[in-house]
Amino acid sequence: MSEPNRFRARRSVLYMPSSNERALEKAKTIPCDGLILDLEDAVAPDAKPAAREAACAAAASGEYGHREVTIRVNGADTEWHDDDLKAACQAGPDAIVVPKVDSAKAVLAVVDAMESYGAPDHTQLWAMVETPYAMLHAEEIAAASARLAVLVMGTNDLAKELYAEHVPGRQPLLTGLGLALLAARATGKAILDGVYNDVKDLDGFAAECRQGREMGFDGKTLIHPGQVDIANETFAPSQQAVEEARGILQAWEQGGSGVVTYQGRMIENLHVESARRTLSIHDAIQALQG
């Protein structure tokens, strides 16, 4: 199985309705880092079998270049879940996204099913956490299996469950966002911020991307191609940050001791680790760009 905490750029991960053939074709040209081929919310009940077939064919095609291709199945409490999961495992996408994961037991049940359905080793599990119960058990969920690589915030459902309003700054959701982030970092998993609903409000979207980056999210899930460029720019290290990281590492290597200074600042191991992470993100993004 691929290393679950291996760094991979996930600045922009775009939901695409698998019932829309034109959308699946267009996704081959959108400069996002990842795709979630959706069988759940974006697909009407009578269209789900055909969407399942289309998503699996797309994931198995190898026609999406560098993009990380995942399939979101319907939830475990639905009539479509088992058929979705079996088909997705046979298609072998980069990951299978499972909604409304509330417990370690739920993770283990999906992992066992993936293995029984013959999912290839490279197919990871992404768990959507989107309820108050999931927030309070996020560490248990994240630590349940090495196959689980990414937590995905379901902020719309979380707001609904909290009876919260969607407001700028997301104050009602910050506790849940923080708990999930703590769980991801404590267990070495990646974590993606939730979607922004108003696709015409690019200023508001940019502000929420900045908030997510400042909090520590690895990237953001998106619902419209027009959001991709902003997410890519926001979740990438700035040129200034890259140059500073290189300077810190150079000073550290030349210093030859436990503590050095860089531009008048004391540099310790923690700064060096942060600088290395910045450069690993930068290098991964550069590799995507050719």
Is 263 a domain residue? yes
The reply to whether 268 and 230 lie within a common domain is: no
- Average of per-residue pLDDT values in the chain: 94
Residue 205 CA to residue 189 CA, distance in Å, equals 25
Given a cut of 50, whether residue 243 has pLDDT beyond it is yes
Q: What is the mean pLDDT of residues 34-44?
A: 95
Q: Is residue 67 part of a domain?
A: yes
Q: Looking at the structure, do residues 105 and 181 belong to the same domain, yes or no?
A: yes
Task: Give pTM, 2 decimals.
Answer: 0.92
Report pLDDT for 4.
40
- Indicate if 129 and 218 belong to the same structural domain: yes
For residue 221, give the H/E element and its range.
strand 219-222
In-domain check, residue 2:
no
pLDDT tens across 198-239, in order?
999 999 999 999 999 999 999 999 999 999 999 999 999 999
Q: Identify whether 66 is part of a domain.
A: yes
Same domain, 42 and 164: yes
The pLDDT of residue 6 is 54
List C-alpha distances in Å: 12 to 56, 191, 227, 238: 21, 12, 8, 16
The answer to whether position 6 is within a domain reads no
Mean pLDDT confidence for 30-51: 96
Q: For residue 204, give the amino acid letter.
A: G
Read off the pLDDT of each residue in 39-56 and give the average, rounded to a whole number: 96
Shared-domain flag, residues 184 and 259: no
- Do the domain assignments include residue 125? yes
Once rounded to an integer, what is the mean pLDDT over residues 130-150? 98
- Which of 197, 217, 234 is the C-terminal boundary of a domain? 234
Strand 265-267 versus strand 260-262 pairing type: antiparallel
Instruction: Tell me if 201 is assigned to some domain.
Output: yes
Tally of domains within the chain: 2
DSSP letter string over 129-183? Answer: E-SHHHHHTHHHHHHS-TTEEEEEE-HHHHHHHHT----TT-GGGHHHHHHHHHH
> In the predicted model, what is the mean pLDDT of residues 3-11?
70
Residues 120 and 198 in one domain: yes
pLDDT at residue 16 tops 70: yes
Q: Which residues contact 200 (CB under 8 A, 6 or more apart)?
A: none
pLDDT at 290: 61
The total of other beta-carbon atoms located within 10 Å of residue 44's CB is 9
Same structural domain, 229 and 243: no
Q: 92: domain range? A: 12-234
Do 257 and 209 fall within a single domain? Answer: no
Q: How confident is the model at residue 257 (pLDDT cuts 50, 70, 90)?
A: low
Nearest CA to 156 out of 99, 80, 214, 210 is that of 99
CATH number at residue 140: 3.20.20.60
Question: Is pLDDT of 43 > 60?
Answer: yes
Residue 3, pLDDT score: 42
Asked whether residue 276 carries a pLDDT value surpassing 50, the answer given is yes
216 and 95 both lie in a single domain: yes
Q: Are residues 133 and 249 in the same domain?
A: no
Q: Averaged over 43-56, what is the pLDDT? A: 97
Q: pLDDT tens for residues 163-189?
A: 999 999 999 999 999 999 999 999 999
Predicted confidence band of residue 5 (pLDDT cuts 50, 70, 90) = very low
- Choose between 261 and 133: higher pLDDT: 133
Statement to judge: residues 152 and 191 lie in one domain = yes
* Residue 53 resides in a domain: yes
Q: Are residues 145 and 198 in the same domain?
A: yes
Identify the pLDDT of residue 246.
94
